[in-house]
Structure 1
Amino acid sequence: MLVTYLEASRDLCETDSILFGAALAVCRIIGAKLSTAGRATGQSSAIPAWRIRIEERIAKARALIGRLICFRSGNTRPRIVCTVRMAFAGTNVSLSLPDIMQKLTERIDDLKQKIAAWVKRIRRYTERSTRFNQNRLFQSDQKRLYKSLERPIVSGTGPAPNQANMVAFWRSLWSEPVNHNEGPWTEVVVSQCASITPMDPVIITPDDVAEAVRRAPNWKSPGLDGLHHYWLKGFMVCHSVLARQFQEALNQISLPSLFTTGITHLVP
């Protein structure tokens, strides 16, 4: 189906929209999850459901330990007594037994051991998930993996930067036109380059596009179009169309803004 649409494509923007539509159609057919925050996708930071369940168990166990300790210290309020009875529900333990304090201590120790086991399970699952993500990232983007391993942990403490000041600072560098004063060094550079033979005209072939796509990481952060290199590798029929349209853009010395606009993230 792509062949028919790509043959009618007039420029790179149309080709990009066609490829994005094809990728979206594939995701819907196979039932893949899609981001609803726009075309540019990002990594999800949601806490896994299994971790939420275990953390809820830990919170309930800690609250129960607090009630049991209060009862053991002599607090006999109705709510505390009711909680203690629920803690021993299904057992032969009664609050009127002479060794109830020993039973309370055993129950508290049992809950503490469960909490320690749950915490260890979270740690084990987290380490396993980290190893899995690192292995997958090693296969798709080794450079990004090494950067993540070398990057120091950034502390979230301290005063937050002022947004207005940051915008004003970077706008003064990127948005304001600047008149550069060219010195005599430019004439020296021109004279040195006069003897250089001009390069031959660049001819972009489908093989060039295929090789460039092959070398690119599959899931490298996409541009504003949200289209990953993975799809360009899969939709091989687009290579010849991209080669022709990139050649036209090179000859006309013009690229659409879609290919020259990006998002800049300030790293603290």
Structure 2
Amino acid sequence: MSTWETRPKEAAAPSSGRGPVAIVTGASRGLGREISMALLRSQVSVIGVGRSADCLNELMTTVASQSKDNGGAQFIPCVADVTTAQGVSAIEQSLKNSGLGLVALVNNAGTLGPVAPIASASAGGWREHFDVNLFAVVELTSRVLPELRASKPGRVINISSGASIHPYHGWGAYCASKAAVNMLTQSMAHEEPDVVAIAVRPGVVDTEMQDFIRNKCAKGMHADEYNKFVKLHESGKLVHPSKPANVIAKLALDAPVEVSGSFYSWDSDELAKYRS
């Protein structure tokens, strides 16, 4: 059997014998919401982390209406800010209260702003940005590593970006933070033999981030780069979040140890079997 053949039901069983659960940050909308739904369809419970109680409760209602498709998997909402100690503690408590075995962490929460050239950048603005896109990833991952190790292998999927390897005018903070996430992923693979860590580029996804780019970022970007995103929207070429979400969910349950530390685009040849 190929190491790239998907078999989520086998991979979802933690070695502890407890039912499987995954943590997804930024779960209340967009890509995180779709990742959560895909995991639930694979009969893996989800601790969905977000700052909006209303959005998380709406998702919980949707999940309840589709419970027959989820094989008893639960959606456990956790209202928390991943950049605060209280928020991370709330996530840990939700995991403890669930009584389930952690098989995967999907670090999806992120921000694009501030969008401004480096010449006018604020170090304080960059610090706030890195709090979300990098330091929250480091903190939450380190706190749940003992549970992930016990799954042998647990899996960490870090949502990266094409901007981690290609600069955009005004996106210095975002490009730098996502490049750091890629190297963090490689460092985890080097240090943690019982955890598979992968960084995934989800493509230009039709989410609120694209709304933000079109409506708020014209002044901070080069016109040609800004217009590229506008034209993708106008031509209907933005990627529906369910497409990369399905790939990410399968990776979270079944990515082999041999690819730990890798950075993949969701639509790359290497991940073709995960798009079936």
**TM-based fold match above 0.5:** no
Query: Higher RCO, 1 or 2 (CA under 8 Å, sep at least 6)?
Result: 1
Q: Computing the radius of gyration over CA atoms, which structure comes out larger, 1 or 2?
A: 1
Which is richer in strand?
2
Give the TM-score normalised by structure 2: 0.21
Which is richer in helix?
1
